């Protein structure tokens, strides 16, 4: 069953057209990396699908329905740099935000919500930092807090924008373990990823993007030298060395 | 004790600037985290032409009508700032500077004309520039009180939503929080608190009531809730104290005294604030230096001990 269906998506960012006729389908339980050079439209693709950025044309359907009807089933982890970490709040409070939709607007979260948020922090190995001011966390810890906030949403489909960017090895391992656990639990995950070296180890599906879909499918089929070259326009050095 | 010396009217005025200060302090926190502190300044200046036009059209100094005029004028200003930013190469700070000065200039021009034609300075419109809380009549005070309480309620009831909206608007949208509604509500309470404040504080200094309490509160806490509460306390306190001092002299404007009072609070926060206050930072640095020299002294001693151990 396809969890996500994208058909003929076009979008522009400022004056430039960044997404051109993007179409693909994602099956349940897959762990897909979205890979492409800078400016390929990876983040824009996520934002357009989530209706955070307007599209010019095309259709996106989640679980065979519209986003507005399936909002609670879709989780989003924005780029770490998209928020101001100086904001006066602590790690637990940020994770609690993932539950606001379920708590209900204008209602106050109760004890069971707090326990859920704590469990989620624990899962990311961040239980000791629950009361820590978020500006006092390292980049990797901030990323784990974002992941914990997404986990607590208990969504069926997750979009993550560069969760592995600029994190230390321990955080990278913790995040990848979590992603694999999600997959085992039958969840679907799409991750914007920048490290070509780890694509084959980490992800079972890959979407090579450079304004349009260059290749999409199982990693061993889609992540070929030829496709990567086409996506990166021959500016890539590591492939020659390999 | 002091209250018994003041007339009932002054007591009401004091209450109203207290509540106004609290509302402004709370909204100031929203503007601070939306990175729009300067926007409040542009909007309060942009309110002036509306006040004058409302007076010229109705010929009366009914506060509700003036507030309505101010709100329309400020919202036009806000819309023009957005329009300039989105449809030209001009950045937002420049757009705000343009709208601020153009609207204020227009307001002063209209004010001069109205003052000439409406029989000298009888209109009392000059009070809207620097603020004259003492000139408010009982009905004005009630109008202001009700609207300020309304603003405080809007922030308190949706507190969790405001926090989410300010910290991570994209994530908030993903959760289904209506960002257009939140933005309109934000602009609504911002304009409302500005327009109800301008008679007491004046268009020039109204922004200080929004900006100064919020930055002062930032020096004391790492919790958003505490920041909003403290900002309300600082805003209310300086509103009360500033008004009290301004009633001591005949015709003393309220706005400047409120700003001076809140600046004193800010200076205290800047120096003594528990979070990144100058004093606490200096003390932390000193204790770290002390720890550092102590631990490096120990590091020197240790190898000597181990050397001695080797000899044995």
Domain ranges, ordered by start, for chain A: 2-241
Question: Residue B210 above 80 pLDDT?
Answer: yes
For residue A207, list its beta bridge partners: A34, A216
Q: Chain B residues with CB inside 8 Å of A62's CB?
A: none
Q: What percent of chain B clears pLDDT 70, i.e. is strictly above it?
A: 92
Q: Specify whether the backbone of B176 is left (phi greater than 0), alpha (psi in -120 to 50) or beta.
A: left
> How far does A234 lie from chain B, in Å, by closest CA?
34
Cα–Cα distance, B46 to B70 (Å, whole number): 8
- Look at B175 and A100 and tell me if their CB atoms are within 8 Å: yes
Sequence-distant (6+) residues with CB within 8 A of B243 are B13, B14, B17, B133, B200, B254, B257, B258
Cα–Cα distance, B162 to A88 (Å, whole number): 13
Please indicate if any CB of chain B lies within 8 Å of the CB of A88: yes
User: What confidence tier does B1 reach under pLDDT thresholds 50, 70, 90?
Assistant: very low
Q: Which of residues 191-210 of B touch A (CB under 8 A)?
A: none
N residues, chain A: 242
Cα–Cα distance, B145 to B152 (Å, whole number): 11
pLDDT digit string (tens) for B180-207?
999 999 999 999 999 999 988 999 999 9
Mutation target among A60, A88, A135, A158 for the B interface, most CBs of B within 10 A: A88
Q: Chain A residues with CB inside 8 Å of B161's CB?
A: 100, 105-106
Query: Which residue in the set B171, B218, B227 is minimally distant from A78, CB to CB?
Result: B171
Q: Specify whether the backbone of A162 is left (phi greater than 0), alpha (psi in -120 to 50) or beta.
A: left
Note the pLDDT of residue B275.
Answer: 86
Note the pLDDT of residue B306.
Answer: 46
Note the pLDDT of residue B187.
Answer: 94
Mutation target among A100, A135, A158 for the B interface, most CBs of B within 10 A: A100
- Look at A88 and B222 and tell me if their CB atoms are within 8 Å: yes
Q: Which of residues 100-119 of B touch A (CB under 8 A)?
A: none
pLDDT digit string (tens) for B135-177?
888 888 999 999 999 999 999 999 999 999 999 999 999 898 9
Please indicate if any CB of chain B lies within 8 Å of the CB of A73: no
Domain residue ranges of chain B, discontinuous segments joined by +: 2-209
Cα–Cα distance, A211 to A230 (Å, whole number): 12
Distance linking the first and last C-alpha atoms of chain A? 36
Cα–Cα distance, B121 to A144 (Å, whole number): 64
Is the domain spanning B2-209 CATH 3.30.70.260? The answer is: no
CA distances from B102 to B6, B95, B107, B109 (A): 40, 11, 9, 11
- Look at B170 and A52 and tell me if their CB atoms are within 8 Å: yes
Q: Chain B residues with CB inside 8 Å of A105's CB?
A: 158, 161, 177
Name the 3-class secondary structure at A46: helix
Please indicate if any CB of chain B lies within 8 Å of the CB of A69: no
The strand pair at A16-27 and A2-13 is best described as antiparallel
Helix axes B8-33, B138-157, angle to 10 degrees: 30
Token look-up 């009982």 returns B138
Burial of A82 (0-12, 13-18, 19+ CB in 10 A): middle
Q: Which of residues 20-39 of B touch A (CB under 8 A)?
A: 33
Note the pLDDT of residue A220.
Answer: 93
Q: Confirm if A33 and A202 have CB atoms less than 8 A apart.
A: yes
Phi, psi (rounded to 5 degrees) for B7: -70, 155
User: What confidence tier does B6 reach under pLDDT thresholds 50, 70, 90?
Assistant: confident
Phi, psi (rounded to 5 degrees) for A15: -90, -15
Note the pLDDT of residue B297.
Answer: 74
Please indicate if any CB of chain A lies within 8 Å of the CB of B175: yes
Average pLDDT across chain B, whole number: 89
Question: Residue B4 above 80 pLDDT?
Answer: no
Torsion sign across C-alpha atoms B75, B77, B79, B81: negative
Query: Which residue in the set B166, B222, B226 is minimally distant from A133, CB to CB?
Result: B222
Q: Chain B residues with CB inside 8 Å of A87's CB?
A: 33, 166-167, 224
Please indicate if any CB of chain A lies within 8 Å of the CB of B52: no
- Look at B171 and A76 and tell me if their CB atoms are within 8 Å: yes
Sequence-distant (6+) residues with CB within 8 A of B91 are B85
Q: Chain B residues with CB inside 8 Å of A50's CB?
A: 173-174
Which among B213, B267, B194 has a CA at the least distance from the CA of B26?
A: B213
For residue A13, list its beta bridge partners: A16
For residue A60, list its beta bridge partners: A6
Which among A170, A96, A186 has a CA at the least distance from the CA of A138?
A: A170
pLDDT digit string (tens) for B92-126?
999 999 999 999 999 999 998 888 876 555 667 88
**Would you give the distance in Å from CA B110 to the centre of its chain?**
27
Spell out the SS3 assignment of chain B.
Answer: CHHHHCCHHHHHHHHHHHHHHHHHHHHHHHHHHCCCHHHHHHHHHHCHHHHHHHHHHHCCCCHHHHHHHHHHHHHHHHHHHHHHHHHCCCCHHHHHHHHHHHHHHHHHHHHHHHHHHCCHHHHCCCHHHHCCHHHCCHHHHHHHHHHHHHHHHHHHHCHHHHHHHHHCHHHHHHCCCCHHHHHHHHHHHHHHHHHHHHHHHCCCCHHHHHHHHHHHHHCCCCCHHHHHHHHHHHHHHHHHHHHHHHCCCCCCCHHHHHHHHHHHHHHHHHHHCCCCCHHHHHHHHHHHHHHHHHHHHHHHHHHHHHHHHHHC
Is the domain spanning A2-241 CATH 3.40.50.300? The answer is: yes
Note the pLDDT of residue B310.
Answer: 44
Note the pLDDT of residue B122.
Answer: 60
Please indicate if any CB of chain B lies within 8 Å of the CB of A82: yes
pLDDT digit string (tens) for B42-86?
999 999 999 999 988 888 778 889 999 999 999 999 999 999 998
Please indicate if any CB of chain B lies within 8 Å of the CB of A127: no
CB-based contacts of B69-76 (< 8 A; 24+ apart in sequence): B70/B194, B70/B195, B70/B198, B71/B47, B71/B191, B71/B192, B71/B195, B73/B46, B73/B47, B73/B48, B73/B49, B73/B103, B74/B43, B74/B44, B74/B46, B74/B47, B74/B50, B74/B191, B74/B194, B74/B195, B75/B187, B75/B191, B76/B46, B76/B50
Across A114-138, average pLDDT: 94
Q: Chain B residues with CB inside 8 Å of A44's CB?
A: none
Query: Which residue in the set B168, B176, B224 is minimally distant from A83, CB to CB?
Result: B168
Q: What percent of chain A clears pLDDT 70, i.e. is strictly above it?
A: 96
Q: Which of residues 158-187 of A touch B (CB under 8 A)?
A: none
The ipTM value here is: 0.90
User: What confidence tier does B2 reach under pLDDT thresholds 50, 70, 90?
Assistant: low
Note the pLDDT of residue A203.
Answer: 96
Q: Chain B residues with CB inside 8 Å of A108's CB?
A: 160
Burial of B30 (0-12, 13-18, 19+ CB in 10 A): buried
CA distances from A12 to A16, A25, B251 (A): 5, 21, 58
pLDDT digit string (tens) for A41-85?
999 999 999 999 999 999 999 999 999 999 889 999 999 999 999
């Amino acid at each position: 069953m396809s969890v996500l269906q994208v058909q003929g998506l076009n979008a522009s960012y400022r004056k430039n057209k960044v997404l051109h006729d993007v179409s693909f389908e994602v099956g349940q339980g897959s762990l897909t990396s979205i890979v492409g050079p800078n400016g390929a439209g990876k983040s824009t693709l996520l934002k357009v699908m989530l209706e955070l950025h307007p599209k010019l044309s095309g259709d996106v359907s989640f679980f065979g329905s519209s986003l507005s009807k399936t909002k609670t089933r879709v989780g989003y982890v924005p780029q770490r740099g998209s928020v101001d970490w100086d904001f006066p709040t602590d790690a637990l409070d940020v994770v609690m935000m993932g539950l606001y939709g379920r708590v209900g607007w204008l209602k106050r979260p109760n004890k069971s919500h707090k326990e859920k948020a704590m469990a989620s922090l624990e899962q990311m190995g961040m239980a000791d930092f629950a009361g820590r001011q978020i500006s006092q966390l390292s980049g990797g810890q901030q990323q784990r807090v974002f992941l914990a906030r997404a986990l607590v949403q208990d969504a069926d489909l997750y979009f993550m924008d560069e969760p592995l960017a600029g994190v230390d090895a321990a955080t990278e391992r913790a995040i990848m373990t979590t992603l694999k656990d999600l997959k085992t639990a039958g969840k679907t995950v799409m991750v914007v990823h920048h490290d070509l070296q780890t694509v084959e180890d980490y992800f079972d599906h890959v979407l090579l993007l450079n304004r349009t879909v260059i290749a999409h499918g199982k990693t061993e089929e889609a992540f070929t030298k030829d496709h990567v070259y086409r996506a990166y326009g021959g500016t890539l050095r590591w492939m020659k060395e390999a | 004790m002091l209250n018994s010396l003041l007339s009932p009217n002054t007591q009401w005025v004091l209450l109203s600037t207290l509540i106004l200060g609290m509302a402004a302090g709370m909204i100031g926190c929203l503007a601070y985290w939306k990175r729009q502190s300067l926007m409040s300044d542009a909007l309060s200046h942009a309110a002036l032409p509306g006040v004058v036009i409302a007076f010229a059209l109705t010929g009366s100094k009914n506060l509700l009508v003036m507030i309505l005029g101010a709100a329309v004028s400020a919202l036009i200003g806000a819309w023009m700032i957005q329009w300039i930013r989105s449809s030209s190469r001009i950045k937002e700070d420049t757009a705000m500077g343009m709208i601020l000065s153009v609207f204020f200039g227009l307001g002063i021009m209209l004010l001069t004309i109205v003052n000439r034609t409406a029989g000298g300075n009888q209109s009392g419109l000059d009070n809207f520039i620097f603020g004259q809380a003492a000139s408010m009549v009982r009905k004005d005070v009630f109008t202001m009180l009700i609207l300020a309480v309304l603003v405080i309620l809007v922030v308190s009831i949706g507190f969790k939503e405001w926090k989410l909206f300010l910290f991570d608007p994209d994530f908030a949208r993903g959760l289904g929080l209506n960002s257009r509604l939140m933005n309109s509500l934000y602009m609504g309470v911002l304009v409302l608190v500005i327009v109800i404040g301008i008679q007491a504080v004046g268009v020039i200094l109204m922004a200080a009531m929004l900006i100064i309490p919020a930055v002062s509160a930032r020096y004391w806490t790492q919790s958003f809730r505490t920041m909003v509460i403290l900002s309300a306390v600082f805003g209310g306190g300086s509103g009360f104290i500033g008004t009290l001092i301004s009633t001591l002299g005949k015709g003393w404007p309220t706005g400047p005294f409120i700003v001076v009072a809140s600046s004193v609070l800010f200076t205290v926060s800047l120096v003594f604030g528990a979070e990144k206050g100058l004093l606490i930072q200096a003390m932390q640095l000193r204790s770290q230096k002390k720890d550092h020299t102590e631990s490096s002294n120990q590091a020197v001693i240790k190898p000597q001990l181990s050397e001695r151990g080797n000899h044995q």
